[in-house]
Structure 1
Amino acid sequence: MASNYVQERTPSVSQDALSPTTPSVGVSTRSSNALSSRITSVLSASYADLDIRDALEILNARGIQNTPETRRQLRLNIQKEVIQCNGEIVKDFGQVAEQLKRIGTVIASLNRCCVDMRSHIDAANRETGPILEEATSLMNQKKQVEERQRILNAFNSHFIVSDSESTILTSAAEPVDEEFFHTLTRVKKIHHDCQVLLGTEDQRLGLEILEQSSKQLNAAFQKLYRWIQREFKTLDLENPQINASIRRSLRVLAERPTLFQSCLDFFAEAREQILSDSFYTALTGSASDTQSMPSTKPIEFHAHDPLRYVGDMLAWAHSATVSEREALEVLFISEGDEIARGIQAGLESEPWSRPEGDEEVFDGRKALNQLVSRDLNGVARLLRQRTEQVIQSHEDATLAYKIANLIGFYKNTFSKLLGGKSEVLDVFTSLEGSAMRQFRANMKDHVAAVQSELTVAPADLSAPEFLEEALEMLKALAKSYDTSIAAVDNRDQGFQSVLAEALDPFLSGCESLYKRQSEPNNDIFAINCLLAAKTVLSPYSFASDRLSEMDDTIEEHASRLVEYQHRYFTYTSGLDSLLNALGELSESPDDLESLRSLEPFKPEALVTTSQQLDDFLPSALMDAAENIKQLKSTKMVQDITEEAAHMFCEDFEFVESKIIAADKLLETENGLEEDPARRLRDIFPRTSGEIRVLLS
């Protein structure tokens, strides 16, 4: 813009300078207008304009002085500089053009080389293409072959059993050791994993391997089964360190429930024979094996008492059962429920081996109890035979009952040890029933003998001799029952049968004697018999029901004795005639007025009754107690007499009230001036208070 400004102003100045002397109106006017326009344009220009400011900054940067010369040369100088710059640019572009020509030549040469190389490459591709395709195909085939090889190796290592492993698994010459179990585990896994092969389209391979593994497993379990049977023949259960391999073998064999059960049957038969021989040796001291002599004295030699003999046999059986159970527990279930899980798995794989309708899960403890019960069958038979001989060969009822209680005690013990469904318990139940039958039979014979000897009651009205003997026997029976844990579950009911056999018949005999006695001896005799029986039974809680019944019966007899003593009081005192006379009278004034006309209440008779009462009262209690002094309980004598005296006092109060009422009625009718001799109270002066004091 500065250059334009210079360019525009320079011609105008030069023109004015060249022709100052030739002005004209038109020219002067145009120059004046142009100048005015220029001045106006300059003055209207904004010096804040960016272009003007940039131009000024360039001029300032070039150090140009604002002189007339500079202003005249500014445009030329600038154009000169522009021309010089353009020349340098053209020169530079000439060099660039030259370089471009050389580059074009090189590029053309490279293009020709590329074309040649492309032609060579195309020719090489045409020649090597089939070879590369073939190589690629071979590489793919190689990968497939390697993949199949890996699959085949994995398949062989997982599903194929080597000949050496098959020999270890099935040959009887090879031992049953860790390697055997390891191989067996591997074959079981192969058999299980064959299900994967059976899920493929071609099932032939899976079926072949499944068949082969099944044969190998069957042969292995047969080998294990025979090996366990051989080991069972020489197994020492007394040794606490039982071979761990046998326990492991049993856990593995449990997967074949049929073979496992067969093994258990074989083991049970062997143990039954061993325990039977041991029991026979313990009884007699003669062993079938001459090398094994008993270390203790035989039971039959030192147990002379029948009860001790039976107890020693039962104690031996219990000890043997505990030892057998502990040994078998170590053998079969010491390491958890491995056998139970094995049998459950076997039942799932062999559902035909499960009993029909049996869906119960295998219980190891229950199976152990059943096995121990089977082992004891021989001992139970010998025990039953010897115990029945003892029971049948003795006629003592007490001994038979003690044996029954002893058997019941061990029955309860064996029930806790072997469970409530053990076959051994049937033997104990049978023996207990046999002993109780013998007890009842002996008691019936004894009762029959006693009944034939019944005559009269003792003179002192105490319990007869046969009852005393029966109570001694009952005392021994109750003591035996009390020490027997067999009656814990049903103690009260369990002893009722004993009371029915050992007490009730003798009480019935006493009742027969009671009926032959006169009053009050009959009630005294009955109470004495019941008190004797109650004394024997009172220490035992299981006889509480019978004791309650006896108390009720004693109370009935005591009530009759109270009535008897009451009648004695009223008759001896003479009060009975007064009571009889007052029995039909009421409280009406007419009846009270007629009281004086009754024979017992006439003055002469009333005086006599009063005198009889005075004679009776001083020794009334002692005389009354003398009537029932044969009662064995002095407290009952006192209580009965006092209750009768209390009733007598109430009767006297009744008579006294009637007499007082009759006197009041007489006073009301005739006034106080009535003759005192006619007052019944004066004739019969005793008061109820005096009577109570004298009879207290």
Structure 2
Amino acid sequence: MPMESQSSHTTAESEPPLIRKLKKVLDTRLENDLELVESLKAVSEFFTENNIRSRRSLRSDMESRYVVIYEEFLHSFKSVKDDLEELYDAVSAMNSSCKDMSVRLQEAKSQTEHLLRETSRIQRESEEYEIRSRVAEVVLELFQLTPEQEQQLTDKASPVTEDFFKALERSKQIHSDCKLLLMAQNQRAGLEVMEQMSVLMECGCEKLYRWIQNECRMQAGESAEVTALMTQAFQVLQDRPVLFKYALDEYANARRAALVKAFIEALTRGGSGGGGPRPMELHSHDPQRYVGDMLAWLHQATASETESLDSLLKLCDDDAEADGNEAAVAIGNEAKEEDGEAEAGAANGTDNSTDIASSRSSRRQLRAACLCSLSEGVCRPLRLRVEQALVGVQDASVLYRLHNLLRFHQGTLDRVLGSDSSLATTVGDLGQLCWRLFFGALTNGAQRALETVEPLAAYASGTAAGAGAGIDDWDRLRAPPAVAETLRLLQQVLTAQDSGMAPLSQRRDDLRQVLDTCIDPLLKLCTVTATRLSPLELAIFMANSLHSLQTGLAAYEFTETHIERLQAQLEPQLDALVAEQLSHILVSLRMLELYQTVEQHQQQQPQQPLSYLEAPCLSLSAVKAAAARFDSYLANPDSLALPQLQALQSSKLRQLVTRRVADQIHSVYTAIYDAIVKPENLFGKEFATVLVRNPDQVAKLIL
């Protein structure tokens, strides 16, 4: 490599200079040399001809051009220099003027300094007085009433308007805000304002009470006309419990008179106008409608009165009076402590707090007492008319429906007026009276039925079991008419109970009393009626009566206990029927003596073979004859049915008796069959061949 570079350098030096320059020019990259390009552009502006003369004078031309450019620059800079000199002169003059003015200002300041201090002091005092003036205006605005407002509270001749309530509310607010004044050093202003506001509030409340008293006395029309001003008046008076109570009493007196008048007119004259309802006393012959119309009218009237009273007291709040009164108590205590009467003030404050709490607790009691008072006037006319209507009612079902009606409206009035109201109590007393009359009607009806009942005579006393009687002759064993009448009465009572609004427990207790009052005398009546009947007829008669009662009660609720009691009394009657039918069948089949012998042997001599007994019924011929008659019976079991069983009104009872008799027949045959085929009883094979059917086969035939 050193040898090659050295040889190339030697070759370059051996080349002619012109060639080297040409190579250098050719190797130059003009696009990369920006300065050279710009220089060539500048030269091209004046180098227009490329000849030997131009090339030789190029340097001098360029120097001449430089000189011209420098001269132009010098000429331009000279004008700038002249402008700067003028500016310097102007600034110097201004500086001189400012220094002169500063000197003059210092002289003027030294001369007016005292005047400026006085001016600043006066300005500060003016601002302070202006602030005090504004504070005084605000204080007067906050703690004083305008003359117009004072006139509204004190002038008794001026009417009560919305402005009156605004003025009264403003005085209460000022009285409450006086505690701010009492927190300052000088409390005399606060005490004076409080005393002034108390006097104005007292005048305003007295004026308001007189006005509301007159307004309440005017509420004796057909309906109460409650205005917004009356509502606001009661809201204000709730802070004064005594005045509040007196105002409510006036309202209650007016509405009580109006309610009594409207009730009497509805009873005697009916509604106003041609299309109004007719007088209620026109329906006095129909106690249920008569009493229902009166209670419905009272229900509507009391609801309307309650709504009117609620509208009158809608702005009253249980805790509304606490704020102002408690604040007044606290302020009074502070004032008395300032005057050296702290102990007396504390005791007075405690009493006032107690009065406030008691007034809040009695607010609802006053409303309830007002409702009770305004509805009290209709109690006497209602009681007289309802009692007259109830005394004339003899139908127990009507009395029961009236009792439900009275009890329903009693519950409604309890919710609207309260359980302690006179009207609700009166309706409750009338309901109790109706309840007593209802049970009296039930008891009297049962007593009359017992007094007039005639015992049934046994049929065909000269025939055995009445075998010759027909179906028409057994109709007398059906349930007596008293049962149907009682069931009809119970149906009406229970239907009325289902439509009632009484609580579930009350309905259950009422029904228990009604059923006890009705069913027990009825069962006694049935027993008296059947005293002369034969045992079979007695069982059929009682079964029909008990089953009719069961069927009638089964469709209603709360009757399960009495149905079970009736079933317990029905079972002995069914057992008696089964025993009579079984005895009749066994006697007809000549199997009664055989069965009794087998049972007696099992009880008294079980160790001795049955064949050793010398009983005619155990002979082969007797057993064979009994078996033959029993086979005939199996072919037609109904052939030996007692005709009296057709007197059972219920097919279900007949089927039940037939089933139980079949069970008993199967048991009797099983006992006889087991006794004869048992080897220990030593009967011969000929006895076994006589009884061709085993108990299972008999069961398939009769069960």
**TM-score, normalised relative to structure 1:** 0.70
Deviation at 1:637, TM superposition (A): 0.8
Match in the other structure for 1:66: none
User: Is 1:511 paired with 2:492?
Assistant: no
Match in the other structure for 2:286: 305
* Cα distance in 2 for residues equivalent to 1:637 and 1:597: 39
Provide the secondary structure at the position in 1 that maps to 2:453. coil
AA at the equivalent of 2:501? I
Q: Verify the 8 A CA contact 1:592 1:661 in the aligned structure 2.
A: no
* Cα distance in 2 for residues equivalent to 1:354 and 1:450: 67
Q: Verify the 8 A CA contact 2:633 2:639 in the aligned structure 1.
A: no
* Cα distance in 2 for residues equivalent to 1:679 and 1:286: 100
* Cα distance in 1 for residues equivalent to 2:187 and 2:527: 94
Residue range with higher mean Cα deviation, 202-211 or 473-482: 473-482
* Cα distance in 2 for residues equivalent to 1:605 and 1:399: 68
- Please list the CA deviations of residues 414-464 of structure 1 after superposition, one character each: whole Å capped at 9, or x if unmatched: 344445554422111100011112223333333332222233148722223
* Cα distance in 1 for residues equivalent to 2:216 and 2:614: 108
Match in the other structure for 1:610: 627
Provide the secondary structure at the position in 2 that maps to 1:541. coil
Q: Identity over the aligned pairs, expressed in percent?
A: 27
Provide the secondary structure at the position in 1 that maps to 2:156. coil
Match in the other structure for 1:274: 258
- Please list the CA deviations of residues 207-262 of structure 1 after superposition, one character each: whole Å capped at 9, or x if unmatched: 22212212211221222222222222334887798532222333333333332222
1:252-331 correspondence runs (5 A): 252-285=236-269, 295-331=276-312
Larger radius of gyration: 1
Residue range with higher mean Cα deviation, 241-250 or 256-265: 241-250
Match in the other structure for 1:74: none
* Cα distance in 2 for residues equivalent to 1:347 and 1:569: 100
Residue range with higher mean Cα deviation, 132-141 or 636-645: 132-141
Q: Verify the 8 A CA contact 1:595 1:601 in the aligned structure 2.
A: yes
Deviation at 1:608, TM superposition (A): 4.1
Match in the other structure for 2:638: 621
Q: Verify the 8 A CA contact 1:565 1:624 in the aligned structure 2.
A: yes
Q: Verify the 8 A CA contact 2:486 2:518 in the aligned structure 1.
A: yes
Q: Verify the 8 A CA contact 2:283 2:289 in the aligned structure 1.
A: no
Q: Verify the 8 A CA contact 1:221 1:253 in the aligned structure 2.
A: yes
* Cα distance in 2 for residues equivalent to 1:394 and 1:200: 81
Match in the other structure for 1:160: 144
Residue range with higher mean Cα deviation, 490-499 or 621-630: 621-630
Q: Verify the 8 A CA contact 1:344 1:362 in the aligned structure 2.
A: no
Gaps of 5+ in 1: 1-109, 668-676
User: Is 1:662 paired with 2:679?
Assistant: yes
Alignment match of 2:509 (pick from 493, 505, 527): 493
* Cα distance in 2 for residues equivalent to 1:520 and 1:596: 38
Alignment match of 1:537 (pick from 553, 556, 570): 553
- Please list the CA deviations of residues 524-556 of structure 1 after superposition, one character each: whole Å capped at 9, or x if unmatched: 222222233334433332434323432343344
1:72-83 correspondence runs (5 A): none
User: Is 1:633 paired with 2:661?
Assistant: no
Q: Verify the 8 A CA contact 2:578 2:660 in the aligned structure 1.
A: yes
Deviation at 1:594, TM superposition (A): 4.2
1:545-694 correspondence runs (5 A): 545-583=561-599, 591=607, 593-597=609-613, 599=615, 600-614=617-631, 616-662=633-679, 678-694=685-701
Match in the other structure for 2:373: 374
AA at the equivalent of 1:685? V
Residue range with higher mean Cα deviation, 494-503 or 339-348: 339-348
Change (3 A) 1:355 1:401: farther
- Please list the CA deviations of residues 179-212 of structure 1 after superposition, one character each: whole Å capped at 9, or x if unmatched: 2122122111111111222333443322222122
Deviation at 1:678, TM superposition (A): 4.8
Residue range with higher mean Cα deviation, 265-274 or 467-476: 467-476
Q: Verify the 8 A CA contact 1:621 1:695 in the aligned structure 2.
A: no
1:410-559 correspondence runs (5 A): 410-457=409-456, 460-486=476-502, 490-514=506-530, 517-559=533-575
1:206-217 correspondence runs (5 A): 206-217=190-201
Change (3 A) 1:691 1:344: farther
- How many residues align? The count is 558
Match in the other structure for 2:171: 187
Provide the secondary structure at the position in 1 that maps to 2:477. coil
Match in the other structure for 2:320: 342
Residue range with higher mean Cα deviation, 187-196 or 214-223: 214-223
* Cα distance in 1 for residues equivalent to 2:372 and 2:564: 43
Provide the secondary structure at the position in 1 that maps to 2:197. helix
Match in the other structure for 2:462: none
* Cα distance in 1 for residues equivalent to 2:399 and 2:270: 29
User: Is 1:150 paired with 2:128?
Assistant: no
Deviation at 1:322, TM superposition (A): 2.8
- Please list the CA deviations of residues 316-351 of structure 1 after superposition, one character each: whole Å capped at 9, or x if unmatched: 112222332333344333xxx654443565786764
* Cα distance in 2 for residues equivalent to 1:523 and 1:344: 80
1:365-404 correspondence runs (5 A): 371-404=370-403
Match in the other structure for 2:341: none
Provide the secondary structure at the position in 2 that maps to 1:161. coil
AA at the equivalent of 2:281? E
Provide the secondary structure at the position in 2 that maps to 1:628. helix
Deviation at 1:496, TM superposition (A): 1.7
Change (3 A) 1:556 1:370: farther
Change (3 A) 1:259 1:616: same
Deviation at 1:510, TM superposition (A): 1.9
Q: Verify the 8 A CA contact 2:442 2:517 in the aligned structure 1.
A: yes
Deviation at 1:612, TM superposition (A): 4.4
* Cα distance in 2 for residues equivalent to 1:417 and 1:547: 40
Deviation at 1:666, TM superposition (A): 5.5
- Please list the CA deviations of residues 641-662 of structure 1 after superposition, one character each: whole Å capped at 9, or x if unmatched: 1122122212312322232222
Q: Verify the 8 A CA contact 1:191 1:214 in the aligned structure 2.
A: yes
User: Is 1:171 paired with 2:161?
Assistant: no
Match in the other structure for 1:225: 209
Change (3 A) 1:531 1:683: closer
Gaps of 5+ in 2: 1-98, 328-351, 459-475
Q: Verify the 8 A CA contact 1:514 1:523 in the aligned structure 2.
A: no
Match in the other structure for 2:25: none
Match in the other structure for 2:406: 407
* Cα distance in 1 for residues equivalent to 2:368 and 2:571: 53
AA at the equivalent of 1:447? A
* Cα distance in 2 for residues equivalent to 1:265 and 1:345: 26
* Cα distance in 2 for residues equivalent to 1:553 and 1:348: 75
Deviation at 1:313, TM superposition (A): 1.1
Provide the secondary structure at the position in 1 that maps to 2:534. coil
